[in-house]
Amino acid sequence: MNEAFISPSRMSRWGDRLKKIEQLAQSFQQHPLTTRYKPRLWPCQPSSVWKLFPRQNMAISFTQSCKEAVHVFALEKEKASLGQRIYLVTSYSELWHYYRTYPQSLMHCYEVIPEGAVCKIYFDLEFHKPSNRGSDGKSMVSLLIQYVCDKLMEVYGIKCSAKNILNLDSSTEEKFSRHLIFILQNAAFKDNIHVGKFIHAILQPVINKIKSDSDLEKENSSPTENNENREAVVSEMTPEMKRFKREERDLSFLLVKNKDGQNCLFVDLGVYTKNRNFRLYKSSKAGRNAAFTVAEDNEFVPEPARRVSAEESVFLASLVCNVSFTGQRILTWDAPEVNRPQTAAPQCQQGSASNPDTVSGCQLSPYQEVDNFVLTLVRKDGIQGNIRRWSYFAAEQLLVYDINKYRWCENVGRFHKSNNIMIIVDFKEEVWYQKCHDPDCRNFRSSSYPLPREICVSYILSLDEEDQAYVMDETGNFEPSQTRNNSERPAEEATPGAWGDERDDQAYLESLNEFEENSGEISDQLLLTCVDDGCSQ
């Protein structure tokens, strides 16, 4: 039909209709439909996520698509074939809640340290007791702590002592076994690979000792080759390495014997690999009874926090990747002798891959699409900005880019002369914003801008529910999922003590349940208002 033939009366009918639609749209805007109420553990918590995956990479992908701050944990099943693990995605607080409620099914639980995630320094220490009758584990731990603290001061200028180190014990008659987790004031490592390199570097003298002993045994030592390597290393010193003095201290206290009577190291150097599973506080290995508890000689006391029990504070402190972005200094150790393969984006200028301070260099994260997007933000106005460094904060799902050369700051509305800016990509909110290194812009955070559709992880990854091969039943057992209608979550039963001593919370939840049963649904907005009132008391 041609517009020219529409009669005037018809035109006015259309006009009325349009008005009605506009009125409707306005009323919908003023009174939005309530979103479905999602159960929460307690009022101040975000809604819950509890998903189980047969494979680690599926679980990791899922956390990145999730709007909530969730993390991957590995669970070892009792009586399962050796080493078989399933992967749980949930929040720290929810894990802690069910960890206490179902100690049987969650007793062999590991934190997955995601590749590239900012993390604390951690140690796995052990020796076979019968093979080391004369060894005093406690004093070895104490000497190691002192040594690492001295090195942190020497290399990074960071002051710390045994009071900053959570010391966990899971020793048995057979084995001395400890975990140390360093809770530094406003400093953490870029990722566990950097932690491993730093620890390798500071323990080099004693590592060399073990190596030369075994070389002597094999009678094939080649000192000339070693000297050549050393010269190559010296020519490419990073600032950290220049501050690092060659250690003359006696580190022989770190030497222990294995079951075969050979020299080996008290420090397990094998725990600094990507996606490493690190056993949790209060967990034991499958088939064993020795769970990690706070060691007798532990000196770390977590700061008390509201609504968090002392035990939960220890649990939160023990999580290697539980590091907040705010005010954090990121430590790196870039050993030049290791040539990491560089995954280069086509438009990225190559600098020295091993040195993050390089002026022309470009550091690329594992998220190539995001890197490319960030580069489009800092390559305009005739300036070729670069990614000087990136850090991934798994706890908050933030990817933080330190930008080189491009210094436009939203706070001052112009380019800074010398101070650099940061671009922060928030995977949870699917937004990016700018922050600034200029002292005047210290607390500034720009508006949030949506990430382009094509790099939103939730867009890339639409999870197939069939991937969830396991569910947890009401008694806390993990079972292969039969149908998709199976309950994915444990029942919300009120376990004695599970709510702490906050009786108000219990009463609050009861009345909430009652209200829900009678009234159907509560809007999130209303709930938030109530929660805000409750939390500000």
Contacts to Zn ion by CB under 5 A: 409, 411, 436, 438, 441
CB nearer Zn ion, residue 403 or residue 441: 441
CB nearer Zn ion, residue 7 or residue 326: 326
Q: Burial letters for 330-347: b for 16+ Cβ neighbours within 10 Å, e otherwise?
A: bbbbbbbeeeeeeeeeee
Q: What is the DSSP string of 216-271?
A: HHHT---HHHHHHHHHHHHTT--HHHHHSPPP-S--GGGEEE-TTS-EEESB-GGG
8 A C-beta contact, residue 364 and residue 348: yes
Pairing of strands 421-426, 398-404: antiparallel
CA distances from 467 to 19, 62, 66, 480 (A): 48, 11, 16, 11
Minimum Å gap between C-beta 420 and Zn ion is 9
Pairing of strands 449-450, 398-404: unpaired
Minimum Å gap between C-beta 188 and Zn ion is 24
CB nearer Zn ion, residue 350 or residue 419: 419
389 burial level (CB within 10 Å; 0-12, 13-18, 19+): buried
Total length of the chain: 537
Q: Which long-range contacts (CB under 8 A, 24 or more apart) does 218-223 make?
A: none
CB nearer Zn ion, residue 387 or residue 409: 409
Tokens linked to 113:
């340290």
CA distances from 475 to 149, 287, 490, 495, 498 (A): 45, 20, 7, 12, 15
Minimum Å gap between C-beta 433 and Zn ion is 13
CB nearer Zn ion, residue 327 or residue 341: 327
Largest distance between two CA atoms of the chain: 105
CB nearer Zn ion, residue 148 or residue 436: 436
Minimum Å gap between C-beta 415 and Zn ion is 9
Please tell me the distance from the alpha carbon of residue 500 to that of residue 30, in angstroms, as a whole number.
39
Q: Which helix (H) or strand (E) holds 104?
A: none
Minimum Å gap between C-beta 416 and Zn ion is 6
CB nearer Zn ion, residue 167 or residue 411: 411
Minimum Å gap between C-beta 452 and Zn ion is 24
Minimum Å gap between C-beta 448 and Zn ion is 17
8 A C-beta contact, residue 455 and residue 373: yes
CB nearer Zn ion, residue 211 or residue 437: 437
Please tell me the distance from the alpha carbon of residue 255 to that of residue 269, in angstroms, as a whole number.
13
Minimum Å gap between C-beta 439 and Zn ion is 9
Minimum Å gap between C-beta 423 and Zn ion is 13
